[in-house]
A = this chain, B = another copy of it.
């Protein structure tokens, strides 16, 4: 296959209009010039996108498959996104819903460093869904946040995720906070090891700072003892994440947070499909764990949209290894059995604000979560 394929959902008037729109996307996202001005030879034959198929799938809706050559991309992820949906993101009624990689794309974008199997090794949990408390709220001191890290880690949490709003505010500046939280998790892990627990808590520090400091802050977190980082591709860009993922010296897992990405999926007519954004593109950009808002919480994703995300995180034909989906957003312990039945064990189960209701008994809640997520798989 000399091209990778992007599948678009296109709103059109009729079959001819749909074909014209597909051809317009193929030009728009590559050369961005009128068809009569495209130079013959290399540019027309290789650089311009190639419309492979346009098929009606319902009233007023078509599916178009467009093949792009790696030469239109180069080696950098920002330009890959330009080709997939750059200017076409501004066209009415155009939504990218699927990416079929070819060998060229896989050679330049290798995906996650750890993924599902890697996280099993890092956590020391051979089975069971992952217990993931979210440390918050912002405005708390580093000491208060570190104490939450300690209590949840000591009680058996697998992944300690910082809230994505813990940035670099005066109440708990990034470096002070990360040092304190990493030390607290290390202390809890020593206690766990002392009582023979073969698993350990991983502390994921949220990268809060300027976009040109992502690498420095991630290395700071690593040196301070963090086991991974949380990053927001909707604010720092997908390539910021990929650069960390592809840096062999860094070598820590990455959790992607969906903040600021909502408009890319909320409309049926624009942006990306849920599975493409939170599964395929997160894998492409090197996320090991992809956070998304679960159905039935504060956000409006449907169950089928969530299952599409999970499938795209795990399917064998994606970029790089399978990665872990991580549903959250207004969940509670009593929903965990239902979530486990939907998502399975290879999943990071987030629990945030509602944990704070337990106060200093938060460890009990973590133990309850672990019990619920260690139940025999039922499917």
Report which A residues bind B (CB closer than 8 A).
Answer: 24, 28-34, 36-39, 42-43, 46-47, 71-79, 81-83, 85-92, 136-140, 163-165, 167-171, 208-212, 214-215, 232, 234-240, 243, 258-264, 266-267, 269-271, 293, 298-300, 329, 352-354, 356-357
Question: In the complex this chain forms, how many copies of it are found?
Answer: 2
Taking a contact as CB atoms under 8 Å apart, the answer to whether A78 and B261 are in contact is: no
* Nearest-neighbor residue (CB-CB) of A46 within chain B: B139
* Nearest-neighbor residue (CB-CB) of A244 within chain B: B212
Taking a contact as CB atoms under 8 Å apart, the answer to whether A90 and B258 are in contact is: yes
Q: CA A264 – CA B30 in complex, angstroms?
A: 22
Taking a contact as CB atoms under 8 Å apart, the answer to whether B270 and A78 are in contact is: no
Residue from the list B37, B90, B269 in contact with A357, Cβ < 8 A:
B37
Taking a contact as CB atoms under 8 Å apart, the answer to whether B82 and A356 are in contact is: no
**Given that A236-B78, A260-B85 are known contacts, is A170 also in contact with B71, CB under 8 Å in the complex?**
yes
* Nearest-neighbor residue (CB-CB) of A267 within chain B: B267
A74, A75, A91, A329, most chain B CB atoms within 10 A:
A74
Taking a contact as CB atoms under 8 Å apart, the answer to whether A71 and B169 are in contact is: yes
Taking a contact as CB atoms under 8 Å apart, the answer to whether A30 and B293 are in contact is: no
Taking a contact as CB atoms under 8 Å apart, the answer to whether B92 and A357 are in contact is: no
User: How far does the Cβ of A322 sit from chain B's closest Cβ, in whole Å?
Assistant: 24
Residues of chain B lying within 8 A (CB to CB) of residue A266: 90, 92, 267, 269-270
User: How far does the Cβ of A231 sit from chain B's closest Cβ, in whole Å?
Assistant: 10
Residue from the list B82, B215, B270, B356 in contact with A232, Cβ < 8 A:
B82
Taking a contact as CB atoms under 8 Å apart, the answer to whether B212 and A32 are in contact is: no
User: How far does the Cβ of A358 sit from chain B's closest Cβ, in whole Å?
Assistant: 10
User: How far does the Cβ of A148 sit from chain B's closest Cβ, in whole Å?
Assistant: 12
Residue from the list B137, B260, B271 in contact with A82, Cβ < 8 A:
B260
Q: CA A51 – CA B34 in complex, angstroms?
A: 49
Q: CA A78 – CA B174 in complex, angstroms?
A: 14
Residues of chain B lying within 8 A (CB to CB) of residue A171: 42, 47, 71
User: How far does the Cβ of A153 sit from chain B's closest Cβ, in whole Å?
Assistant: 20
Q: CA A31 – CA B76 in complex, angstroms?
A: 35
Residue from the list B71, B88, B240, B262 in contact with A89, Cβ < 8 A:
B262
**Given that A139-B42, A269-B266 are known contacts, is A168 also in contact with B76, CB under 8 Å in the complex?**
yes
Taking a contact as CB atoms under 8 Å apart, the answer to whether B89 and A261 are in contact is: yes
Residues of chain B lying within 8 A (CB to CB) of residue A232: 78, 82, 86
Q: CA A240 – CA B38 in complex, angstroms?
A: 32
* Nearest-neighbor residue (CB-CB) of A45 within chain B: B139
Taking a contact as CB atoms under 8 Å apart, the answer to whether B271 and A263 are in contact is: yes
